[in-house]
Structures are given as structure tokens and as C-alpha cells.
Amino acid sequence: MLNTRRRFLQGAVSAGLYAGMYAGLGATGLRMPALAQSTGLGPAPMMPGLHTVDTNGIRMAVYEQGAGPAVVFCHGFPELALSWRNQIGPVAAAGFHAIAPDQRGFGLTGGSADVADYGMDVFCADLIGLLDAKGIDKAVFVGHDWGGAVVWTIPRVYPDRCLGIIGLNTAASRPGNLPPVQGSEPSLIVRTADYYFNTFQEPGRAEAVLEADVRKSFEFFLSRGGMWNKDVFAALPEDSPQRRMDFLGMLQQDIQPGDTFLSAEVMDYYVSAYEATGFTGGLNWYRSAMRTAVALANARNTIDVPCLYIGAEHDVILPPASADGMEDFIADLEKVTVQDSGHWTQQEQPDDVNRIILDWLARKIA
């Protein structure tokens, strides 16, 4: 059933039915996104009002709340806008216009199965088109995981559209005109051909494993503790699938990395969403990674807006040390590390993340 529904969705997108379902609507429609109509997947729980926005050739599903300076929240893989459910309300209550989309290829936004339709230049243009559709001149962009990679790129490509940048876990990539950072803490990951970034590249390979049991895949990914604790991770054998981050192998061997921590309601929605759409759209972010160079070909080498980096003590994928040297090309940068958190920081430690974000917004933006 999953593969059948995913093939239908991909076919509908490529055939133009995705846009056709909304013929005659304006840039912002109040009807449900096309994927909701075709799959029965409804809005995410614990989120504000949902609507759609035409941007950069896609119809993007967007949740928003509040008024004031815009703050755009960008999720990572395999998350959705739902990952920001604990941040939108407090940020809106503090006097900001909080906006959280399901990004290209994900959730109710969906997207093509063609890797050519993805890339960092495309993801940035999606968000700028979102601002244009809403008549917003500038925004603070907040991103986690892949969303972090996008938001750190925007001020280098679209500097006139940024009020500020907040990156969770993901550090800004170092401009090519700068020498490598010296003396930074080395990664604990032992990279081999089985490293997840590598095994995600071949079309269909990761889908076959992740879609065989979507709930199992989400209980695997969205967990904490265990190998997601850097001290536990460091003590594991270097030839173990955990140290090699062989996610597909671990799933096939029933190796659970940590403990689930999300509520049943949140987990059920993630599972329902990916049972409806499959994983191809999200995996295409990995498969298009080489296009980051295209996005940065004519980019600035400095970031000239206020910036905040929020790291997580136990993130073994994107450790706080990965942000070393960002001061070399960002003049106004603050760094904070959230304690007792693995990779899913805004979902693991929402109160700490909210406190840090709201304090920074109050001082730098409001």
C-alpha cells in the first residue's frame, strides 16, 4: 500500500495534477494541500492554522501564528514542520510572526521524485518565494539539521532578505577562501561506505529499508540516549555499525540506537505522513547535496546579520565542535550549548531551546 500510494503521488506531481487541484486559487489558499486531499493526511497536531503558498513551482504547506517580525522555522530529515510545535506558540506570543513550512519533498508539501528538482539553490529559493508570497521583506531564519544548512546559506545568497539566523545543531559551512580550522575536536564517527550519507545516495536502496516498516524507522531515528549520548558512542567498538553510522544496516539487524521520547500523538503523525508520501522526497536532499556548490558559487564569504548557533551536548552527528571557526566569517555570532540533548534538540529540550531563542530575539531583533 505504501509503495502504491507513493507512486501515485509522484505521478501526480510529474503530471501536473498537484498544481491542477488548486487551479484558480491565489498565492495563499485556505483549502487543504493537494496531498491531504489525495491521501487523507490531515494537518499536524499541536500546530496553528494550516494553509498553502505557491512558491518556486511548488505548493508549500505552511503553519503560522502571530504578528510582528517574521521568524521562519526550517526542519530537517526525517522531520516535518511538526518538529517546531513547541517553538511556534512561544515565539508568536513574544511578538513575532512564526512561520513553519513542510519543506520541499516533505509532508503535505510533497515534491517530485526527480533529484534535479532539489538542491540548496532550490531550497533557498523556496523560502524566498514564501516571503514574497506573503509580502514579507525580511525574516529571521531558524533551521535544524538540513534546515540549518539552508538557513546558513540564505544570508550568503540573499543577504537583503535576512534579519538574522539561528542554526540548531548545524553549523555554517566554512567559506572556501578561509584556511581549515586547526585544533578542533575530531568527529567520533568512523566513515566507511556504509555511512548513512553514502547509503542514502542510490535511488530506491534506502526507501526499501525505511519504508518496510515506517514506525520502526521513526522509532529508530527519533530516539535519544544510547548511542545518541556521545560518551556511550565513544565507548562503542570502531567497527560497530553504530560507530560507522550504518543506519540501514542497523535497521535490518534490529539494532535500536536509543529510547523513543516523543508522545504517541506526535509519533503517529510522523508515521502516517511517511506512510502516505514515502521517503524519496526527503532522501533527495542527500542525493542533491553536490548542488550546494552551485548555490554558493557567487555567494558572499561573510554573513553580516546577527547569528545564533545552538549546539547539543550529545549530538554525535553534528557536535558543537563543528561550529568552531564560525567567528572567522560571522562578526555578530553567539553560541550556546544545550545540555543533556542529542540530535533532536528542539524536540528533546524544548524549554531550553525556547529560552535561548526568545532571549536572543528580544535582544537582537525585537
How far apart, in whole angstroms, are the C-alpha atoms of residue 169 and residue 279? 22
Parallel, antiparallel or unpaired: strands 307-312 and 333-338: parallel
- Pick the catalytic residue: 145, 246, 315, 352? 145
Residue 247 near residue 196, CB atoms below 8 Å:
yes
Question: Cell 532522501 maps to which residue?
Answer: 283
Return all residues near 12 (Cβ < 8 A) that are at least 6 apart: 18, 34, 38
54 is an active site residue: no
Whether residue 5 contacts residue 276, with contact meaning beta carbons closer than 8 Å, is answered with yes
Decide: 142 and 73 in contact? Cβ < 8 Å: yes
Query: Residue 299: exposed, middle, or buried by beta-carbon count in 10 A (0-12, 13-18, 19+)?
Result: buried
Backbone angles phi, psi at 134, to 5 degrees: -100, 0
Dist CA 175 CA 297 (whole Å): 11
Quick check: is 343 catalytic?
Answer: yes
Query: CA 272, CA 109: separation in Å to the nearest integer?
Result: 14
- Compute φ and ψ for 162, nearest 5 degrees: -115, 130
User: Is the peptide bond prior to 78 cis by the omega test (within 30 degrees of 0)?
Assistant: yes
- Using DSSP's 3-state secondary structure scheme, residue 302 falls into coil
Q: Chain-centre distance of CA 316, in angstroms? A: 17
Beta-bridge mates of residue 143: 74, 167
Residue 254's CB is within 10 A of a number of other CB atoms, namely 8
Burial class (CB in 10 A: 0-12, 13-18, 19+), 112: buried
Among residues 144, 315, 343, 352, the one annotated as catalytic is 343
CA distances from 77 to 156, 201, 234, 299, 301 (A): 23, 14, 24, 25, 27
CA-CA distance, 35 to 38, in Å (whole number)? 5
Q: How far apart are CA 335 and CA 145, in angstroms?
A: 16
Active site residues: 145, 343
